[in-house]
Amino acid sequence: EDDASKWLASINHFFDIIRLPGNKDELCFQYAPAFLKTYAYRWWTENKSFIGDWSCFKQMFTEQFGEKNEYLLEQQMNQRKQQPNEPVIKYYYDMMELCHKCDPTMSDKQKIRKLILGLRLSLYQEAIKDDYSTPKEFLVKVQQLENIEKLVQLRQTSIDDSTIRQQHNNDPSSGPQIESSSYVYHQNPSSSFSSHRSY
């Protein structure tokens, strides 16, 4: 249902932007079928003789492609988890969309619970310590946690790099070997002198 609604909304938005002269509904009806693909276009070719205007097109299109599978939507919502490198804002809007698809009347409290449960562990551990009155408040606060997490990671990376450099500088074996040989030679010049005297 959502895909059908989104497609119709995108067509409507497209003709709002390009502002072609003429009646908008007539333009949509005339050109929208060109944007259909695969089985949707096949549906159009088989049914266009029964569709007389844009209003009829939208109704029949929604009836054909707008069936809502509640079990699938609920499964998608419950299985949606934030990925390791996924920004909070992307996860938030995806989850909110799934919540709306599954239950348009879902309360803010239920949405917030779904949002928290799907967070990656590092954010979940901090997010459950706070309270949120609305999903928007949840987004703002968890984005702050995300920013703190990024700063900590950057600082840790900087510390690790500094430690590696320090260990490298303190390791005698890391210096050029030629310098060590030269040092030994100059410290023992008598060995060469003795050999000449023996001769």
**Annotated domain spans of the chain:** 2-65, 70-167
Helix (H, G, I), strand (E, B) or coil at 196: helix
> What confidence score (pLDDT) does residue 194 get?
43
Amino acid in the structure at residue 152: V
> What confidence score (pLDDT) does residue 164 get?
74
Residue that is written with structure tokens 């459950």 in the block? 128
pLDDT tens-digit series, residues 100-109 = 888 889 999 9
Band of pLDDT at residue 93, cut at 50, 70 and 90: very high
Q: Looking at the domain 70-167, which fold is it?
A: 1.10.1200
Please tell me the pTM assigned to this model. Answer: 0.56
Run of H or E including 11: helix 2-18
> What confidence score (pLDDT) does residue 193 get?
41
Distance (Å, rounded) from C-alpha 58 to C-alpha 6? 12
pLDDT tens-digit series, residues 144-161 = 999 999 999 898 887 777
Average pLDDT over the chain, rounded to an integer: 84
> What confidence score (pLDDT) does residue 177 get?
54
Dihedral pair phi/psi, residue 76, rounded to 5°: -60, -40
Distance (Å, rounded) from C-alpha 82 to C-alpha 92? 9
Is pLDDT above 70 for 179?
no
